[in-house]
A and B are shown apart, each in its own frame.
Chain A
Amino acid sequence: MKKIFNTVFIVLLVFLSTINVYASTNTFNRNELENYGVNKNIENINSKLSYILNTKKVDASEKIYDFSDILTDEEEELLKTQIDKFIEDNNMDMVIVTDSFAYSYDKKNEEYADDFYDYNDFGLNIQYYSGVLLLRNTYSLDPYYHMSTSGKAQLYLNDSRINYILDNIYDDIHEGRYYEGFSKWIAYTDNYVKQGMPSTAGNYYLDSNGNMHRAKLKYHAPWGIAFIAGIVVALTIILIMVAKNKMVKKARKASEYLDQGSINITKREDTFLRSHTTSYTVSSSSGGGHGGGGHSFHSGSSGFSHGGGGRHG
């Protein structure tokens, strides 16, 4: 009986493994001895424990974590090949994660994405833990997708690039063509990284922990202005001093001798002749320099900074 049961179980297992096209995703426990599965240099782990324990621990080498089971194994394999190439070409990690969870505010998606990246070993052996992550939240009431950038990826992908990518994968993601959507996401991201950093990146820098900061504008000593101001001020004061020494002036008027009571103005005519109107147009708000070229960033619960953006749909 037991043998039969075993046989049935094995058959069932074999059967299941052949008909189940969806691969399952393994998660691991986080325990204190292994520093809760956190191998990155994160300060003050204990204060972040609630976030860490709420973040799924996965094998960071898999790169695709399809908790919502929306990709076939073949699709995952194809995507994995593309991701591996991206990682190798750009020395930057790349992760796709799908999951389904309710959220009361959009930022929850961002937090999920950032924490998933930070509390797993993504980008672990890469400078600044650099990498990009795409989260698909398949929450049926309000599906969402979010792209998160970490480390150097924050410099490569500014807001306008991220918006461009998000806008161009919207149709595929929204209509459930996930493989196409994710492939495009990989391709667009790869394209931008290979293009190099946008000029706007010059206004930002990463500190040794990979956190982004807005660079302070470089101080340009105003030599020219100081020189001109010096000349003008000195000249003005010297001329005033010189005038003190030059007292003799020829009189041109006789106002002191005017008998004020004798003034009798008998003729006052003010005739309007004509008017002339000129106009000029100032094109407003074209100034500002890096319109849309900024790099928005925020700190995740881990303390690492991330860029990114998301869409409903």
Chain B
Amino acid sequence: MAKEETKKKKKEDTLENRCPSCKASIKFNPKLGKWKCDYCGSEFTLEEMQAHSDNASGEKKNRKDAKVEDDNIEYVEYHCESCGAEIIADSETAATFCVYCGNTAILQSKLSGKFSPDLVIPFKNTKEDAITAFKGLSKGRPLMPKDFNNEQNIEKIRGIYIPFWLFDINNSGDIEMSATTVETWRIGDTHYTKTNYYRVIRGGTMDYIKVPIDGSTRFDNAIMNTIEPFDYNELVKYNHAYLSGFYAEKYDQEAKDVYAEAADRSINSTKEVFKNDTRVYATKTIVKDSIIAKENNRYYAMLPVWMVNVKYKDKMYIFAMNGQTGEFIGDIPLDVGKAILYFILIFAAAFAGVMILSLIVYGLGGVVF
């Protein structure tokens, strides 16, 4: 490496999953929820994987003591277990593919110590599902540019385990609202309106389970919010064997740095719960609140997301699909020409509609405007 470059390289170990029967490289199959060997066709459950090799249990050997990281390291060099080639990955990558042999390279140091994930939701849907979802975007979206959802526009599509912090949060405290009820009545020609003012206080506690905040600055938080929620019933103990066949990232935002966002979300929901726990008031406004969020638990989880990069007319668009639920989201550009055309057509139709209606009403002898 040239000395001028500030980027340094460092040798690291990789983990690999091998077929317990033929020792070939093996990948996780989202449809089966099992590992399937492409060479000998064998399928294995997690238990079988663990029993027959040190594959899946490899992560147990990861040193729990956090390795001191050199802040200057931006690129790291890995050694492919399969073909022996050197793989270069950036500092956030936890699992990637060997550019020579295509095998998944799980980078041990990125998933051990303090980066050792607690939980994982395995992928349930495939690349093809993501492509199908992308092609289905035109449905119910008349303002999408023609050909936008053409498969040819997909530049890159990757299944990535994205690092999420899941927080168990307890909320306690109360809110004060100023509320009103309104009574109206009439005596003769005089209309009376009586407004009653109340001070309404609601207080108590409630718990939020596993509020997810993504821990990687490389993924837009709003996009990650939009593919929520994940089904936590399928949340399992992390095992690096699940990563085979996918990319993975490590977190670059500490839990304490993103906790505030989770706490804010929980507090907003708590306010809503308190606000709705009232009899019928005409108006309700929160004037004071003293809700405190307390972190009960935190988990570091790898959640499956298909990231789809689309290039359309030299601009990049990012779509994401929940790798578990299949929720496919992203912002689609507007076809301004179509928008204007629709506007004119709808305007003309509504205009003509009102005119025809007025003529009908007039024809029926009704009062006309």
The yes or no answer to B343 lying at the interface (CB within 8 A) is yes
- Tell me which residues across on chain B come within 8 A of A279, comparing CB atoms: 190-193
Q: Is A19 an interface residue (CB 8 A)?
A: no
The verdict on A277 contacting B201 (CB below 8 Å), with A225-B369, A250-B221, A257-B229 known, is no
Could you tell me if A234 and B343 are in contact, using CB atoms closer than 8 angstroms? Answer: yes
Query: Chain B residues with Cβ under 8 A from A277's Cβ?
Result: 192-195
Q: Which of A228-276 contact B (CB under 8 A)?
A: 229-235, 237-238, 241-242, 244-259, 262-276
B58 at the interface (CB under 8 A from A): no
For the complex, give the distance between the alpha carbons of A139 and B244 in Å: 118
Residues in B neighbouring A276, C-beta threshold 8 A: 194-195, 197
B206 and A264 form a contact (CB under 8 A) = yes
A284 part of interface (Cβ distance < 8 Å): yes
Determine whether the beta carbon of B347 is less than 8 Å from that of A231. yes
C-alpha spacing A253/B271, complex, angstroms: 10
CB of B75 within 8 A of chain A?
no
A291 at the interface (CB under 8 A from B): no
Number of A interface residues at 8 Å Cβ cutoff, please give it.
59
For residue A16, CB closer than 8 A to chain B, the reply is no
Question: Which of chain B's residues has its CB closest to A285's CB?
Answer: B189
Q: How far is the CA of A268 from the CA of B276 in the complex (A)?
A: 12
Q: Find out whether the CB atom of B195 lies under 8 angstroms from the CB atom of A229.
A: no
Confirm or deny: B205 has a beta carbon within 8 angstroms of a beta carbon on chain A.
yes
Whether A248 lies near B206 (C-beta < 8 A) is no
Do A280 and B346 form a contact, CB below 8 Å, given A259-B206, A263-B204, A268-B277? Answer: no
B279 contacts the other chain (Cβ, under 8 Å)? yes
Q: Are B346 and A237 in contact (CB under 8 A)?
A: yes
**Chain A residue contacts of B142, Cβ below 8 A:** 241
16 contacts between A and B (CB under 8 A): A217-B367, A226-B350, A226-B358, A230-B354, A234-B350, A246-B331, A255-B272, A258-B273, A264-B206, A267-B174, A270-B179, A270-B201, A276-B195, A277-B194, A279-B190, A284-B189
| Extra A-B contacts (10), CB below 8 Å, given A221-B355, A263-B273 | A232-B350, A238-B143, A248-B330, A250-B221, A254-B268, A264-B204, A265-B202, A265-B203, A265-B277, A271-B201
